[in-house]
Amino acid sequence: MSENYATMHEIIVAARNNSSRSVWNYVTGAAETETTLRRNRHCLDCHALRPRILRDVREIDTSRTFMGHKLRIPCLLAPIGSLQTITPEGGIAVAKAAAEFGTVNLVSTVTEPTLEEIAQATSHPKIFQIYIRGDEAWVDALIDRARDSGYAAICLTVDSAYYGRRERQLITGWRPPSIQRYGENARALQAGLTWEWMDRMRERGGLPFILKGVQTAEDAELAIQHGVDTIYVSNHGGRQLDHGDGTLEILKEVVEVAKGKAEIVVDGGIVRGTDVLKALAVGADVVALGRYQAWALAAGGQATLVRALEIMEAEIKNAMGLTGISSLDELDPSYVKEARAVNQAYELSAFPFLPEEIRGPQ
């Protein structure tokens, strides 16, 4: 039973056992040499926490407010395409888990069921994430549907002008349902996305607007100039451009230009409570969980995702107490320092006790 899972190690083992090779590669793999994926993890490993002592940490508050919504922990559930290949309920399983636990999920354009069905499944706040798969009229209609369905914000993903060369998928010949549904040519419209089109989308929705896929200070500054409410630092978990930098390093430069001007989200390799503290100390307001979420769904759907979030909460609370803070608002850059990594980074390196057959190539 999912409530008996004590660690994410056990959940990942169940996820691998429940998944076909193709789905496992889709969830866990990345682009080409998977260098960007490894750098995401390596950057986290190359930062150490600086604990303070003799502080009263009997009462610890792990909550955080994001876009006016109270979160039980500072973790959003990142948008994932083709969720129906991971768990039968698809996006509804994520929505129900987010509502039960007390967080916010982002719903991908390219997952199932429809955005309306996912919206109707629960009453908690949800954010709709957009990929461009049609012309301006198609996008306008999509935004109208999301607004009319009660989504709390719009998120535009901008790091996907081309589909990353994910060689694990190429080797097996597996194509996610989103590509089969829309076809290869639909992505050409995404490649034509500009700041001007983004402005039009932001105005059309009339909702808080998140820009996902920001990877430089220059673009973060432009986003602020264009009225973006939330800057989402992400390299798509290393699944798009190979040989990019790790997102914790990107976060540092984005924070310099955006802190206090927009809310800041970061994802990429964040799978531990200590990872969350490091990201918030550097300057993120919240983090987003991608693969972590997918592994839990593959292991046991909604119930196991709730359990995985409980495990993350326990890790965050424990790390806060041992770092000497009782509120996340106390975190600042003084709580982290650069350090030497002790292990080789790869997609599962944060879980050293996995069976060898699941750890795979390192």
Amino acid type, 180: Q
Q: 3-class secondary structure for 196-239?
A: HHHHHHHHHHCCCEEEEEECCHHHHHHHHHCCCCEEEECCHHHC
Angle of helix 21-28 versus helix 8-18 axis, rounded to 10: 140
**Is 236 annotated as catalytic?**
yes
Distance of CA 204 to the CA centre of its chain: 25
Which one is catalytic: 47, 69, 236, 243?
Answer: 236
Q: What one-letter code names the amino acid at 244?
A: G
The token duo for 199 is 């402005």
Interatomic CA distance for residues 287 and 309, integer angstroms:
13
Structure tokens at 88: 């039968």
Please state, in angstroms and rounded to a whole number, the distance separating the CA atoms of residues 144 and 141: 5
The Cα 8–Cα 151 span in angstroms is 30
360 DSSP 8-state letter: -
Strands 64-66 and 69-71: antiparallel
Measured CA distances, 64 to 46, 78, 212, 303 (Å) = 25, 16, 20, 23
Query: Residue 294 and residue 29: Cα distance in Å, rounded?
Result: 12
Q: Which residues are catalytic?
A: 236
